[in-house]
Amino acid sequence: MLIGIDASRLKEKNKTGTENYLYYTVKSLSKFDTENEYILYFREQPSDTYWNSLVLNNTRFSYRVLKKFLSWTQLSLSAACMSDHINILLCIWHTIPVFHKPSMKIVSVIHGLEYSKMGGGPAIYSILFSDKVIAVSNFTKSEILKLLPIKDDKIQVIYEGVDTSVYYKRNEEEVERVKNKYGIKGRYLFYIGTFGLRKNIPNMIQAFARFIQNYSNETDFKDITFILGGKIPQEYEGIRELPKTLNIEDKVKFLGYVPEDDLPVLISGAHALMYVSKSEGFGLPILESLSCGAKVITSNVSATKEVGDGFVYLTGPSDIEQISSTIYKSFGADIFYNREDLMAYLKTNFDWYENSRKILSVLNMFK
């Protein structure tokens, strides 16, 4: 069977969780699939080093670089799939080619319906007209079923994964080196991710300001800062002004894009991850932080509650006072779970290798 994969954004310089999802999925598939053949469709030429590290010299994997002609997905990718006689196309970017051979099956991965609310049509079209849909959480599946008239068995839940060989507790020397690189002093809460309305950044900053205001007289909290990592889009630049209006400008720092090598170290050095989104289809930073030994403060709604599953501090994303109280609570006790239980939980539910086997089983349904 010949499987095509839309790898159009795989080589993005500023990777998000979606790019990493495909990277780990392809890398895992290349380790154990000895029956199918694959063609990855790129927008730009991957280097030999990158390609060999991705597919581990598996000769069943090949790639094509497609030039954009008006629409990369709807024309370039569509034509390539027809000329290559692709049997199944795996799409993870919430968009699929409208025109294709009727014999070609499409499997779409849906990371969350927040994308449909932002972009509208392509994500909805992908769900409706794919032959099979993989949802990355039970929450995402339930949201799809509420929104669209499709059958339950069209959607299969397969979790994302966490690479524990990358995300592990780093030593104090590494942490201090990276803290010095970014000018971070003392203890800090950490946010990592994109910036947008659903990420709830203003409420987190206001809750942190309330925390500082409520507990400023306690010596233990004099050195606490809130560090936020992630590229801020131009339309959201105004968020930089909020700490000034709250008189905590010296206690909030925006890092911008954080390179992959620095991220596990910054997480390891944090007192806790602050990830109190209004809505998440999954919430990968939660798993990465837990794997690094950091505490996690996250929302009691959407997939973040599902993914955290008893290992995190939960709070309502709209209640600033409650978020502030949860920050305080996180300082009041040691980690409340057994580390061995956590690692077993991660291995059982969020192993890239095992979850990629589940993805392969979905693809093999169409043999």
For the chain of 367 residues, list the mean pLDDT of each consecutive stretch of 10: 97 84 96 96 95 94 94 96 98 94 96 65 92 97 94 97 96 97 96 92 97 80 92 92 96 94 97 96 96 96 92 96 95 81 95 97 94
Tokens of 306: 């599902």
Q: What per-residue confidence (pLDDT) applies to 14?
A: 75
E strand spans, 176-291: 188-192, 225-229, 252-256, 272-275
Return d(Cα 89, Cα 74) in angstroms, integer: 13
Cβ atoms within 10 Å, residue 257: 11
Of 82, 85, 76, 107, the residue nearest 5 (C-alpha): 107
Q: What per-residue confidence (pLDDT) applies to 31?
A: 95
Q: What per-residue confidence (pLDDT) applies to 216?
A: 72
Q: What per-residue confidence (pLDDT) applies to 219?
A: 65
Q: What per-residue confidence (pLDDT) applies to 184?
A: 97
Return d(Cα 303, Cα 139) in angstroms, integer: 5
**Domains, the chain, ranges and CATH?**
2-161+351-366 (3.40.50.2000), 172-348 (3.40.50.2000)
User: What DSSP string describes 31-46?
Assistant: HH--S-EEEEEESSPP
Nearest 10 degrees: CA dihedral of 249, 255, 256, 261? -170
Contacts (Cβ under 8 Å, ≥6 apart) of 24: 161, 163, 352, 356
Return d(Cα 162, Cα 282) in angstroms, integer: 12
Contacts (Cβ under 8 Å, ≥6 apart) of 13: none
Single pTM value for the model: 0.92
Return d(Cα 313, Cα 299) in angstroms, integer: 8
Q: What are phi and psi of 259, to 5 degrees?
A: -60, 150
Q: What per-residue confidence (pLDDT) applies to 117?
A: 52
